[in-house]
Amino acid sequence: MITTTPMAGITDSAWRQICKLWGADVVHTEFVSADALYYESEKTLKMIQYEPMEQPVVVQLFGKRPEMYAKAAKMIEVSGAAGIDINFGCPAKKVAGHGGGICMLRDMDTVKKIIFEVTNAVKIPVSVKTRIGLNKVQGNPDKGQITVFDFIEAIKEFKIAAMIVHGRSYELPFTGPVNLTALKEAGEKFKEYFPNSPYLINGSFQTVQSVIDDIKYTKADGVALSRALYGRPWLFKQIKDYIETGKYQEVDWEVIKDTIIKHAHLLWASKGEKGFREMRKHLLFYVKGRPDAVKLRQQLVAVDNPKDVEKIMKNI
């Protein structure tokens, strides 16, 4: 199984559709606030909208107040989404800095209350995402760590449909090697309690071959791709091809251009003129590494509609 993970400002409907076209098995929405859904925020309600071709689409909830979750979960179920993922792994300051995300693990009673509220409110599958650990006391490693193993032990009584684990700690969120040994052992522990639920690893992408090697080493059921996908949605197909045949092909520029133009039209259809500026960051990801990237960036940061994108692409 190869999935996306939620990325703020990235995994909107247009991007999810592109990922599905390139072979994603499951796609996740951006981070959705349980509090905002509870209060029926119009902006947040739009974040859980999706096109039928995106299915199975999973909505990821975050927040630290258990009393917000049941209503939010029911709203997601009514939307027709395939599942709910609860975020216990985000290291971003705006989330973890206020006690949410990965920092929720410092309060396992609240973690359990949140999972209880969600699993009792809906019939659709409920999964969780976390990291390998964090310091018990903020900024003080001498006080010991809370680990993914503590988390698994705390949630063993609930019906968990799947788990994604990022192989780095809260203190080293995105840089440096992942702890493959911890990912392997966490998978073994998870399977003790949830033998039929998928266990996915995250954060370990280096090359297509390394993904396969890491899946084999950790004995995971698959991988959840995140920042490695920036400008490279074809990774889904490449990884699947490598699994099935032992080889994969690089994507030529004509195919990349076609993907870029298709992405631009999908974003325009879903967000219109006002939201189209978000396409500019995707365009920069798509052309990264090209010898003419600097020149292209100067043009791409000024696009206002899909026709602008088409014009630039035709001249490359």
pLDDT given for residue 103 in this prediction: 94
Mean pLDDT of 289-297: 91
pLDDT given for residue 276 in this prediction: 96
- Together in a domain, 293 and 179: no
pLDDT given for residue 100 in this prediction: 87
Mean pLDDT of 131-152: 91
- Together in a domain, 30 and 113: yes
- Together in a domain, 75 and 208: yes
Residue that terminates a domain, selected from 245, 272, 294:
245
Would you say residue 24 has pLDDT above 90? yes
- Together in a domain, 20 and 169: yes
- Alpha helices (runs of H) in 194-249, residue ranges in sequence order: 208-218, 235-245
Mean pLDDT of 220-245: 95
- Beta-carbon contacts of 77 under 8 Å, excluding residues fewer than 6 positions away, are 84, 121, 122, 123, 124
- Together in a domain, 162 and 240: yes
Residue that terminates a domain, selected from 195, 226, 245:
245
- Together in a domain, 13 and 122: yes
Residue pLDDT, tens place only, 99-131:
889 999 999 999 999 999 999 999 999 999 999
- Together in a domain, 26 and 72: yes
**CA dihedral for 59, 64, 66, 67, sign (positive or negative):** negative
Bridge-based pairing of strands 140-147 and 133-137 is: antiparallel
Residue pLDDT, tens place only, 56-90:
999 999 999 999 999 999 999 999 999 999 999 98
- Together in a domain, 111 and 218: yes
pLDDT given for residue 138 in this prediction: 86
CB 151 within 8 A of CB 109: no
Which stretches of the chain are assigned E, i.e. beta strand?
2-4, 27-33, 57-62, 83-88, 126-131, 133-137, 140-147, 163-166, 199-202, 222-225
Q: What CATH number should be reported for the domain holding residue 238?
A: 3.20.20.70
Q: What CATH number should be reported for the domain holding residue 298?
A: 1.10.1200
Query: Which domain, by its residues, includes 42?
Result: 2-245
Categorize the per-residue pLDDT at 288 as very low, low, confident or very high, splitting at 50, 70 and 90. very high
pLDDT given for residue 25 in this prediction: 97
Residue pLDDT, tens place only, 154-169:
999 999 999 999 999 9
Q: How many helices (H) and strands (E) does the chain have?
A: 14, 10
Is the pTM for the entire model greater than 0.85?
yes
